[in-house]
Chains A and B, each alone.
Chain A
Amino acid sequence: MIAHALIFYLLSSITILSSIMVISSKNTVHSVFFLILAFVNVSCLFIMIGAEFVGMILLIVYVGAVAVLFLFVVMMLEGNFVKVKQGFLQYMPFGFFIALVIFFELIIIIGSWQFRPEFIKTAKIAYDVKETNTVQIGKLLYTDYFLPFQLSGIVLLVAMIGAILLTFRRRDNLKRQDILKQSSREREDSIELVDVESNKGVKVND
């Protein structure tokens, strides 16, 4: 058990340190790397409590897709973040004050929770050790949580439609290749035989 505790404290302290580094490091690319480090550690923590599905999803989705996307965006933006940092320092005392208030609120809440065990009694999630939690999550998603599952699908669809609607612009002055038009073009469409009278020449359209 002591090894378990040691690994837990190691992983969670790395998580906390790297999340502090995310907001404090000067180079934004480094921030993203620390973000990835934090994600990896959190996913390890999930695996330690037996939630291997959530842990792996965190790795695949957040580290594999979101964080890499962030990295690209940050590298492309290359903005000047020094000014932002100054603002951050300016509001730091106020931020600490808010954090302190929330901290005390959390203490009150955790206190009322710790000393009132009857609140936890009502938890009624059936947990079957024999099945892996991928199977269990799947069973819940398609039965009890069918409606939320479908609704989140619709939310994602709306996000996609919205993103396309707001960013897609049809430009008229571009010359696009139209294969059908090109291959259905006949000789008669483009070549015209003209008898040129002398001293008059030909009038060329366009």
Chain B
Amino acid sequence: MKNLIPELVILLSSFSLLITGVFSKTFNKIINYIIIVLLAALIFVVYFNFASSVTLFGNSYTIDPLSNFMKTLVLISVLFTMLISNTYLERLKIAKFEYPIILLLSTLGMFVMISANNLIVFYLGLELQSLCLYVLAAINTKSLKSSEAGLKYFVLGSLSSGLLLYGCSLVYGFTGSVDYSEIAKVATEQSGALKFGLVFILCGIAFKISAVPFHMWSPDVYEGSPTSVTTFFAMAPKVAAIAALIKFLNVPYANFISEWRTIVIVLSIASMFLGAVAAIGQSNLKRLMAYSSIGHVGFILAGLAIATPQSLSAVLVYLVIYVFMNIGVFACIMSLNRNGVYFENISDLSGLSKHHPLIAICLTILTFSLAGIPPLAGFFAKFYIFLAIIQQKIYYLAVVGLLSAVIAAFYYLRIIKVIYFDAAKESYEKNSNYGIKFSLIFSTVVILFYFIDPSTLNTIVESITKNIK
């Protein structure tokens, strides 16, 4: 029971907040603060139970250091999303009280996904979180683009869920069990059918993390949904899906490593390359971030494909740094508003250095980090991944990774050029929102000073990954 506290608190608080929200009109204004406090408290709860390792509900739900780590990361990204998006929602008049509740329920879905030790529970968690995401994408009912984003995401997402379910049914049909550890026992023999199941399930998960060739939805959905929702999309669902993927590949399919390694490497190379090349022509910042996240997912998948404890540690470190970089960049995008209109084009960044030097410096540091320039955190994230790849002597993967990092540096540097060297435009509203300021400065400081003490994170992560297999 003690180990289920985060899930139960999220569930029960979202129910009670929902009921209160229906009956009380003044509640709208404080519900965001209640949930922010709640999430911050939950981070501590998860942190204090960090080392616990149990399986619950007849071996279908595991809580271990890996899942606690991922849950903390999800909680951090949801917390900062809420901090950043407070004024944005009010300005756009979409600050309905259901919005943070849907966000909470989606977090619950991610928790279930992360902890699932059984195909049914995994699928239900996935469906719970994506159903919430479909609603969030379409939440701005006044905007045509938002509705389009929601519909597109819903249709393609259901298709991918269908593929995933088909894969699950094949796996169940040939192993006679949906339990991960039971599947692992039976899956020792070389069987063709289990590979089919693997491929279908991988397709479903690749869609959720927008790996190429299942990335089509992501630029449109990122652009169309409200920026606060895009912030959420860029971080939390990816963390959860990667956690589920780590578990799925290394528990039930641990004996199939030579089979799935090829698939994951193909996904990884395609994502790294497309993320770098397709972003060059973009003029919208949110679309650019979509392609940037596709590229980053490519690097994460490269780490997953190696599947040594060292590379999995690299993946976890990468995820942490990725989340913090995104918090900062989206906080910058959120501060580009003038008279209630939000700007989201790259050309709108010009003159930032003159009128808003703080935002300009933060954004510069963050973009350098996204590009992987030392000594910023983004460099270390990529460095660990490459180290793990080279130790396994898969050189071509490292070469493609390096090349795409160089290509990607071009469009990141273009942002910096626009900020500092283009003709200045009108200034934006001076930001009075402390949430955005705090998130921006906090994430920049984390990214900037990561190199002083990388070992703290590394020791935590290594203690987690050595127990995965």
Listed in ascending order, the chain A residues whose CB lies under 8 Å from chain B are 105, 108-109, 112-113, 116, 118-124, 144-148, 151-152, 154-155, 157-159, 161-162, 165-166, 169
Chain A hits for B125, CB < 8 A: 151
Closest to B97 in A: A165
* B445 CB–A CB distance under 8 Å: no
* B89 CB–A CB distance under 8 Å: no
CB-based contact B57/A119 at 8 Å: no
CB-based contact A122/B193 at 8 Å: no
CB-based contact B121/A161 at 8 Å: no
CB-based contact A146/B176 at 8 Å: no
Chain B hits for A147, CB < 8 A: 57, 60-61, 121
CB-based contact A162/B135 at 8 Å: yes
- Contacts A108-B193, A155-B128 given; 6 further ones with Cβ under 8 A? A109-B170, A119-B175, A147-B60, A147-B121, A157-B105, A166-B138
* B182 CB–A CB distance under 8 Å: yes
* B134 CB–A CB distance under 8 Å: yes
Chain B hits for A169, CB < 8 A: 141
CB-based contact A161/B18 at 8 Å: yes
With known contacts A147-B57, A166-B139, A169-B141, A122–B128 Cβ distance under 8 A: no
* B281 CB–A CB distance under 8 Å: no
CB-based contact A154/B128 at 8 Å: yes
24 A–B contacts, CB within 8 A, in A order:
A109-B170, A109-B193, A113-B173, A116-B191, A118-B189, A119-B174, A119-B186, A120-B176, A122-B186, A123-B176, A144-B58, A148-B121, A151-B121, A152-B124, A154-B11, A155-B127, A155-B128, A155-B131, A158-B128, A158-B131, A161-B18, A165-B98, A165-B102, A165-B139
B94-131, CB < 8 A from A: 96, 98, 101-102, 105, 108, 112, 120-121, 124-125, 127-128, 131
* B177 CB–A CB distance under 8 Å: yes
Q: How far is the CB of B55 from chain A (nearest CB, A)?
A: 12
Find the residue from B18, B128, B150 having the highest chain A CB count within 10 A: B128
* B132 CB–A CB distance under 8 Å: yes
Chain A hits for B135, CB < 8 A: 158, 161-162, 165-166
Chain A hits for B18, CB < 8 A: 161
Q: In the bound complex, how far is the Cα of B193 from the Cα of A121, in angstroms? A: 16
Q: How far is the CB of A101 from chain B (nearest CB, A)?
A: 12
Q: How far is the CB of A52 from chain B (nearest CB, A)?
A: 23
Chain A hits for B134, CB < 8 A: 162
CB-based contact B58/A122 at 8 Å: no
Q: In the bound complex, how far is the Cα of B253 from the Cα of A164, in angstroms? A: 41
* B196 CB–A CB distance under 8 Å: yes
CB-based contact A112/B191 at 8 Å: yes
Q: In the bound complex, how far is the Cα of B142 from the Cα of A169, in angstroms? A: 11
Closest to A152 in B: B124
Chain A hits for B120, CB < 8 A: 145, 148
Q: In the bound complex, how far is the Cα of B127 from the Cα of A162, in angstroms? A: 13
CB-based contact A119/B102 at 8 Å: no
Closest to B131 in A: A158
Chain B hits for A112, CB < 8 A: 191-193
CB-based contact B177/A122 at 8 Å: yes
Closest to B108 in A: A154
Chain B hits for A166, CB < 8 A: 135, 138-139, 141, 150
Q: In the bound complex, how far is the Cα of B185 from the Cα of A118, in angstroms? A: 13
Chain B hits for A119, CB < 8 A: 174-176, 186, 191
The 6 closest A-B pairs by CB, nearest first: A162-B135, A122-B176, A123-B176, A151-B124, A147-B57, A109-B193
Cβ contacts B164-176/A at 8 Å (1 or 0 each): 0000001001111
Chain A hits for B189, CB < 8 A: 118
Chain A hits for B102, CB < 8 A: 158, 161-162, 165
Closest to A169 in B: B141
Q: How far is the CB of B204 from chain A (nearest CB, A)?
A: 16
CB-based contact A124/B141 at 8 Å: no
B327-361, CB < 8 A from A: none
CB-based contact B131/A162 at 8 Å: yes
Chain B hits for A120, CB < 8 A: 176
With known contacts A123-B176, A147-B121, A108–B108 Cβ distance under 8 A: no
Q: How far is the CB of A147 from chain B (nearest CB, A)?
A: 4
Q: In the bound complex, how far is the Cα of B193 from the Cα of A162, in angstroms? A: 37
Q: In the bound complex, how far is the Cα of B150 from the Cα of A165, in angstroms? A: 13
Q: In the bound complex, how far is the Cα of B194 from the Cα of A119, in angstroms? A: 11
Q: How far is the CB of A11 from chain B (nearest CB, A)?
A: 23
B182-203, CB < 8 A from A: 182, 186, 189, 191-193, 196
Residue in contact with B112 in the complex, picked from A123, A151, A161, CB distance below 8 Å: A151
Q: How far is the CB of A92 from chain B (nearest CB, A)?
A: 20
CB-based contact A159/B58 at 8 Å: no
CB-based contact A158/B96 at 8 Å: no
Q: In the bound complex, how far is the Cα of B57 from the Cα of A69, in angstroms? A: 37
Q: How far is the CB of B104 from chain A (nearest CB, A)?
A: 11
Q: In the bound complex, how far is the Cα of B131 from the Cα of A148, in angstroms? A: 16
Chain B hits for A154, CB < 8 A: 11, 105, 108, 128
